[in-house]
Structures are given as structure tokens and as C-alpha cells.
Amino acid sequence: MKSSRLKILAVAAVAAALVVGGRAATAAGKQKPAARGQVASVDTAAKSFVVKNKKAGELTVVTDDKTVFKKADGSPGAFDDVAVKSRVVVRGTVATGGKVNAVEVDVQPKKPKKPATTAPAPAPAAK
């Protein structure tokens, strides 16, 4: 009787460790973005920028020396890659007051402007 209880406890402990370990790995790897959208303004002195998002409004993203920046092609980036109108996906923690402490920032280039299309010349009137 005691050995079957010990086996059940051992199996439960292993299962719990796997669940907790899996959650920790997910949190460290691909966590849900804390902010995403278009950069509205950049403060280079404070190493922060404001992201506009249709659902969340404006969020201030704060970076530090440990923040990892990545470019659209997956290559390493830097804070200087963040520019007004560029698109970003930010992973980190959301603090009070609409601030995000960034752990990782994926920087997409600005969307290119659509070329102006000119309407075709009207066809000559039939006689």
C-alpha cells in the first residue's frame, strides 16, 4: 500500500515538474508580445519610444542595455533601427501607466509609400 502511494506521488511530482518546466521554457522563449504597432515617436536620450496600436492606444516602450533588437531579416539590430513610422513587435513586461519594459524588439522597416497612380487619359469621344 505504501509503495503504491509512493509511486503515485513520484509520478505526480514528475508531471508537475514537466508542466512547470514547460511553462518556464515558453516564457523565456516565445512569449506573447507586450506591444506591437507603428512607432509614433522616439526619445534617443531615454532609449524609449512610443508605439501606436489600434486596440491598446499608445504605449511607451522603455529599453536598456540588455534589450535585444532584431531586424526584419533576423539579423541583430540596435536601438538606432527604431524610427518613426517603423513597425515593431515588443516582448517584455507591461508596467503600470502604459509602459512596457522591453526584453526584445523586432523592428520592421517603414511601409513604403504606394506610388501615385495617374488615371489613364480618357479615350477620345466617338464621332
Give 32-73 pLDDT, tens digit per residue. Answer: 899 999 999 999 999 999 999 888 889 999 999 999 999 999
Please answer whether residues 63 and 102 qualify as being in contact, where contact means their C-beta atoms are separated by less than 8 angstroms: yes
Polymer length in residues for the chain? 127
Q: Write down the pTM of the prediction.
A: 0.64
Q: How far apart are CA 112 and CA 19, in angstroms?
A: 44
Q: Is the backbone of residue 46 left (phi > 0), alpha (psi -120 to 50) or beta?
A: alpha
SS3 content of the chain, % helix, strand, coil (to 5): 25, 35, 40
pLDDT single digits (tens) 66-117: 999 999 999 999 999 999 999 999 999 998 887 999 999 999 987 666 666 6
Please check whether residue 59 is in contact with residue 53, taking contact to mean a CB–CB distance below 8 angstroms: yes
